[in-house]
Amino acid sequence: MKMTFRWYGADYDPIPLQYIKQIPGTSGIMGAMDWIPAGEVWSEDEIAPYIKQVNEAGLECEVIESVNVHEDIKLGRPTRDRYIENYCASLENLAKHGIKVVIYNFMPVFDWLRTELYHENPDGSTCLYYDDAVLQGMTPQDIVAKTADESAGFMLPGWEPERLAQLDEFMDAYQGMSPDELRDNYRYFLEGIIPTCEKVGIRMAVHPDDPAWPLFGIPRICNSRDDLDKIVSMVDSPANALCVCSGSLGSNPANDVPAIYREFGERGRVAAAHVRNVRYLGEKHFQEAAHLSSDGSLDMHAIMKAIHDYCPDVYVRPDHGRMIWGETGRAGYPLYDRALGIAYLNGLWEAIDKQA
Ligand code: CS2
Ligand code: MN
């Protein structure tokens, strides 16, 4: 298991690489270059200096998050072939610089979505928060405006300006699309990129829907055990793998998260894991909790034991954190609470490993 930390690049992340290096038991980062618009080729001119900077800080960068899939691929438009070609070129460039896993998602339009970015807790910390009852009273344009207003100027995954500029057009284009139609477009994408992945030695790791259900009446196809089974069956290759995110799948209590790690770990299809806790507050109503099991609703020991026993060679990261100790920054991506999360997850791992 390699413990990692998401980093947005020197120009976009207030957290210096040196601070990440100072977190005990952290091997490297899961990189992100959210300034590259979906559909464009990730050039070596962008990739090389980024990796060099990370390595000079004494950290590895073997995983990249969010080589975002252009909406035309998800919509199955004729332009998808050009964007798939570009995606393959990006994979070839990333592999030249040591990338082994690419985490991505196939969520229409939005990446993760919350109704509050800095929800105040009684102890004075803040967290990401979701209440479907609030969302029901909002349009997509409302939630985009609210998120932009609350985001303290930080760009959030999936909320890139060029994607949101086409929000109305995309929302219209998805109306009436069935989950199986979206799956057909997904299969076409995977069939287009997996041969390149096998050639260059990259594993794709699809990230689940967050939250784990459709939004605004447009389909989502990656939010249950059965969805994941359909996805890994689309193209039978170890390169067609998963990023099992405990907090995303865990937002729906019907998902048995440890069982999902066990099943797909045993099948050799877990390449990465985001391990965080959530606290259920009711039907489609949750907040993000500290990583400690007792602070939320998930059994973090069972999750880490499932990873240890069934997919021990994955890249792990603590995913999100609360804002504590007065920290300000990109909602969901603080230094302190993600560092506390790493310390806790590494502690669980050591105990599980020594008891094995
Ligand atoms: C991640 C997602 O940081 C996060 O919240 O779970 O943004 C994930 O990186 C993307 O969905 C992958 O493309
Ligand atoms: Mn995640």
Ligand 1 near 157 CB (within 6 A): yes
pLDDT computed for residue 165 by the predictor: 87
For residue 275, give the ligand nearest its CA: 2
pLDDT computed for residue 125 by the predictor: 98
Residues 270 and 310: their CA atoms lie apart, in Å, by 9
pLDDT band at 150 (very low <50, low <70, confident <90, very high): very high
Q: For residue 138, count other CB atoms closer than 10 A to its CB.
A: 14
Give residue 259's Cα distance to chain centre.
Answer: 19
Ligand 1 near 6 CB (within 6 A): yes
Return the DSSP state at 11. Answer: T
Determine the atom of ligand 1 nearest the C-alpha atom of 245.
Answer: 6
| Residues 108-114, mean pLDDT to the nearest whole number | 95
C-beta of residue 156 within 8 angstroms of C-beta of residue 32:
no
Residues 296 and 81: their CA atoms lie apart, in Å, by 43
C-beta of residue 3 within 8 angstroms of C-beta of residue 342:
yes
C-beta of residue 5 within 8 angstroms of C-beta of residue 317:
yes
Centre of ligand 1 to C-alpha 66, Å, is 7
Residues 266 and 221: their CA atoms lie apart, in Å, by 22
Q: Which residues contact 157 (CB under 8 A, 6 or more apart)?
A: 32, 34, 65, 66, 111, 112
| Residues 236-241, mean pLDDT to the nearest whole number | 98
Residues 309 and 86: their CA atoms lie apart, in Å, by 37
pLDDT tens, residue by residue, 52-72: 999 999 999 999 999 999 999
pLDDT computed for residue 164 by the predictor: 86
- The residue annotated as part of the active site, out of 222, 320, 337, 344, is 320
- The residue annotated as part of the active site, out of 245, 291, 308, 310, is 245
CA distances from 46 to 9, 33, 70 (A): 11, 9, 19
Q: For residue 88, count other CB atoms closer than 10 A to its CB.
A: 19
Residues 151 and 268: their CA atoms lie apart, in Å, by 37
Is 333 assigned a catalytic role? yes
Ligand 1 near 330 CB (within 6 A): no
Return the DSSP state at 68. Answer: P
Strands 116-120 and 126-131: antiparallel
Is 319 assigned a catalytic role? yes
The 3-state DSSP class for residue 139 equals coil
C-beta of residue 341 within 8 angstroms of C-beta of residue 291:
yes
Determine the atom of ligand 1 nearest the C-alpha atom of 274.
Answer: 6
C-beta of residue 241 within 8 angstroms of C-beta of residue 271:
yes
Residue 162 has pLDDT above 80, yes or no: no
pLDDT band at 159 (very low <50, low <70, confident <90, very high): confident
Determine the atom of ligand 1 nearest the C-alpha atom of 333.
Answer: 3
Return the DSSP state at 209. Answer: P
Task: Supply the angle between the helices 300-310 and 257-266 in degrees, to the nearest 10.
Answer: 0
Comparing 35-39, 59-63, 182-186, 265-269, which segment has the lowest mean pLDDT?
A: 35-39
| Residues 346-351, mean pLDDT to the nearest whole number | 98
